[in-house]
Amino acid sequence: MDRKIILLVDDDFDDAEFFKWAMKGTEEAFAIEFVDSGEAALRLLSELESLPDLILLDAGMPKMNGWELLRIIKQDLKFGSIPVIMIATSNALKGIDQAHSLGAAAYIVKPSDFGELRSIVQQLCTGVQADLKSTLESMHSNLPENIYPFR
């Protein structure tokens, strides 16, 4: 079985480590690629033999922020079909609406609790293997203040 690829784009090394720890136990099914900037993400996307099955994208990065990178990804014919989940520290309506209008699959507010983060990441892994949209809808039912799926 080919491993699914999840690309994590986040300028905060500590947050990236938490995401990696949250994926413990999924190594047989998933490979996580990590880059710390929008520019590095575009370079990696152009170099990968297989495109990622999911991109987790931090909204607030310096230089090229997550919104700019999302716009570029969704306008590119090669990358546009990759589901992108925006990740931010705020549940401000402006950010949620912007993620939706730019074509993200969902908007997730970063939880402060590691157990909750692990649960979210594990569910996303299940969704990537099966049906991401249904998984996101289910996650929204359980965590309506953290998960905002888009149709």
Provide the residue ranges of all domains of the chain, joining segments of one domain with +: 4-149
Which parts of the chain sit beneath pLDDT 70? Answer: 1
CA–CA gap between residue 76 and residue 72 (Å, rounded) = 6
Quick one: pLDDT at residue 25?
85
What is 4-149's CATH number?
3.40.50.2300
CB-CB contact of 10 with 55 (8 Å): no
Q: What is the pTM of this model?
A: 0.93
Question: What pLDDT does 55 receive?
Answer: 97
Predicted confidence at residue 97, as pLDDT, reads 95
pLDDT at site 15: 87
Long-range (24+ apart) CB contacts under 8 A made by 119-126 are 120/22, 120/146, 120/147, 121/19, 121/22, 121/23, 122/22, 122/23, 122/26, 124/6, 124/54, 124/56, 124/85, 125/4, 125/6, 125/23, 125/26, 125/29, 125/30
